[in-house]
Amino acid sequence: MTGGKRVKQVIIGITSSIAEETLLSTTLANIWSVNDAEVLPVVLPNIADKAEHYADMVDGVLLTGGGDIDPALFGEDPHPLLGEITPERDQFEVALTKALLARNKPLLAICRGVQILAIAGGGDMYQDLPSQFAKPLIQHRQHAPRSYKSHQITIGQGTRLEMLAKGNTAYVNSYHHQAVRKVPAGFQASAWTNDGVIEAIENSASYPFQVGVQWHPETLVDDEFSTRLFHAFIASCK
């Protein structure tokens, strides 16, 4: 309450993992990263036939990280090194993302989320970077605390990320073995690791805020770049 009046709440949906086919879960870091006095964070269940309704309800969505993605969504058979998939989550998130893109609503996609964003927009991904990427790789699945920034990224000039990073380089954390391969129409790659792997994509238009990053900014709590990233997303939702 402010001055005796209830503050109007902006609804930000947060996607959820399915654990052992019985439990929905998301980290508290995902929730706190978008929570402020004017935001109502809402964790979304993975119900594909309700995706359009959720897209109508929310002002924006945080597509969170998690497990591997079903390659059938972009016309491929499973690679031998593909990990465990959760088809219910995949189907819901792709349907939700398509609905958000059609409605021109803000979204921030993290790790698995940037791959879902690419697939929903008509792009695709590497099922397993170490065996499918053509060049030698740096370590993309770090052996360090989640709050540690393990490698550098190069950020494209004139991009939204460059503005938020206040420069053309940054250090980020890394927990993945899949990555965006084909960038969807209407988006551009906006950051890369030194080995050439795409680390971020963003809507080519100035509005709305539709950005996907391969790292986990929600766990970099004292990082100014990450803070500005979430603030820009929330501001677009408002």
**Confidence (pLDDT) at 1:** 46
Please check whether residue 15 is in contact with residue 61, taking contact to mean a CB–CB distance below 8 angstroms: yes
Do residues 169 and 159 lie in contact, with contact meaning Cβ atoms separated by under 8 Å? no
For residue 26, give both structure tokens.
Answer: 């998301």
pTM, full prediction? 0.95
Give the pairing type, strands 198-203 and 169-172: unpaired
Question: In the chain, which residues have pLDDT < 70?
Answer: 1-4
List the Cα angle 218/10/215 in 5-degree steps: 20
Quote the tokens at residue 209: 């805020």
Give the helix/strand (H/E) hosting 13: strand 10-14
Residue ranges of domains in the chain, CATH in brackets: 10-237 (3.40.50.880)
The residues assigned a catalytic role are: 111, 216, 218
Would you call 55 helix, strand, or coil by DSSP? Answer: helix
Give pLDDT, residue 179. Answer: 97
Token reading at 14: 């947060």
Q: Give dist(CA 68, CA 49) in Å, integer.
A: 22
pLDDT of residue 22: 83
